[in-house]
Amino acid sequence: MSKINDFLSEAGVFFLATVDGDQPKLRPLGAHFDMDGKVLFGVGDFKDVYRQLVANPKTEIVACKENGHWLRYTGKAVFETDPKYAEAALEAMPSLKQVYNEDTGFKMMMFHLEEATAVKIAMMGEGENMLE
């Protein structure tokens, strides 16, 4: 998992794909971290992306680095029930505490991917399995 986390960190911004009915949706994300052997991502419980992942947890994350390599990380979003993950995310990204707190009532919902594949691809080359 650290290879995936490192790739995402080097890329900076990455894109998360969901489905809304029969319409694909993409959005840029940047927040992620590695904990307990999982790469974790967070979305707000008040956002469409959260509702879309609950309705259909199949998702794909794509990140590109300046060297032309890109990552396709595909799987099923599984939301964490242990609050330690959201707490760790908010400690790592303190600016998010302005949005996710008792006053707003908004919660950071953390997920990781299961039944996943991760392939690093060179622009004109073969893919490399990142989970081996």
- Say if residue 124's pLDDT is above 70: no
Structural domains of the chain in order of their starting residue, each with its CATH number:
2-129 (2.30.110.10)
CA within 13 Å, CB half, 49: 20
Computed over every residue of the chain, the mean pLDDT equals: 93
Q: Tens of pLDDT along 10-69?
A: 999 999 999 999 999 999 998 899 999 999 999 999 999 999 999 999 999 999 998 889
Cα–Cα distances (Å) from 20 to 62, 77, 80, in that order, read 18, 15, 22
On whether the pTM is more than 0.85, the answer is: yes
